[in-house]
């Protein structure tokens, strides 16, 4: 699964996943795959059992997707919704 995550990170395409279990190994795999290649944002979903994961690669597509989210939600609404994973 790590090689798939690295291939996705290298492709330059942003990833948006919903309803990921909080304790899923997928979160750690994405963090590892995007380390030095972009950023991974985690957003808790209502109920506390699941999270949404957004991974933005350091590419034009990734930066564009992040800018679109900021444009639609603004920094004031985006920042509290997501926990920036600085390790990624």
Confidence of residue 88 (pLDDT cuts 50, 70, 90): very low
Contact 53, 15 (CB under 8 A): yes
Q: What's the domain range around 20?
A: 2-85
Q: Decide if pLDDT at 87 tops 50.
A: no
- pLDDT score of 80: 47
pLDDT in tens, 8-67: 888 888 888 899 998 899 999 998 988 888 888 888 888 878 888 888 877 666 667 777
Q: Decide if pLDDT at 5 tops 60.
A: yes
Residues 6+ apart with CB under 8 A from 88: 30, 31, 34, 35, 37, 38, 39, 40, 55
Question: How many structural domains compose the chain?
Answer: 1
């Amino acid at each position: 699964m790590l090689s798939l995550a690295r291939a996705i990170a290298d492709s330059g395409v942003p990833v948006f996943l919903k309803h990921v279990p909080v304790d899923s190994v997928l979160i750690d795999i994405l963090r590892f795959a995007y380390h030095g290649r972009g950023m991974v944002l985690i957003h808790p979903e209502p109920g506390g059992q699941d999270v949404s994961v957004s991974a933005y690669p350091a590419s034009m597509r990734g930066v564009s997707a992040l800018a679109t989210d900021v444009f639609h939600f603004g920094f004031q609404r985006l920042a509290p919704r997501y926990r920036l994973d600085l390790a990624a």
